């Protein structure tokens, strides 16, 4: 008996290894473009980020739990579980 022989894998292990597709070894990922600050740059055809807006004084008086600055179009839920959406002008509507 030779000491250099490896034990054979069990039949279940052999089947699993044969069934898995292997990714190509030479596959490369596209390079990430960085801006002058060294941060990843936005893709030209990607969605635009939503602007940060100041919540109007009227909306803050009506919904005091709203923060002073929010992302436009964001939905906020108050302590009584009422939902409020803040638009691009900073007005909150239920």
Residue 63 lies in a domain: yes
Total tally of structural domains belonging to the chain: 1
Element (H, E) at 15: helix 11-19
Q: What is the pLDDT of residue 82?
A: 94
Q: What is the pTM of this model?
A: 0.52
Q: What is the pLDDT of residue 77?
A: 95
| Domain membership of residue 55 as a residue range | 48-94
Residue 3 lies in a domain: no
Residue 26 lies in a domain: no
Rounded to whole angstroms, the Cα distance separating 32 from 44 reads 13
Residue 28 lies in a domain: no
Per the CB < 8 A criterion, the answer to whether 55 and 69 are in contact is: yes
Per-residue pLDDT of the chain (94 residues; tens, 9 = 90+): 567 777 776 666 655 555 667 766 776 777 787 888 888 877 777 778 889 999 999 999 999 999 999 999 999 999 999 999 999 999 999 9
């Amino acid at each position: 008996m030779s000491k250099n022989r490896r034990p054979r894998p069990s039949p279940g292990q052999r089947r699993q290894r044969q069934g898995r597709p292997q990714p190509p070894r030479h596959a490369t990922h596209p390079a990430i473009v960085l801006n002058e600050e060294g941060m990843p740059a936005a893709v030209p055809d990607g969605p635009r980020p939503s602007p940060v807006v100041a919540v109007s004084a009227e909306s803050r008086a009506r919904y005091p739990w709203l923060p002073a600055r929010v992302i436009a179009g964001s939905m906020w839920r108050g302590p009584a579980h009422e939902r409020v959406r803040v638009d691009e002008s900073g007005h909150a509507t239920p």
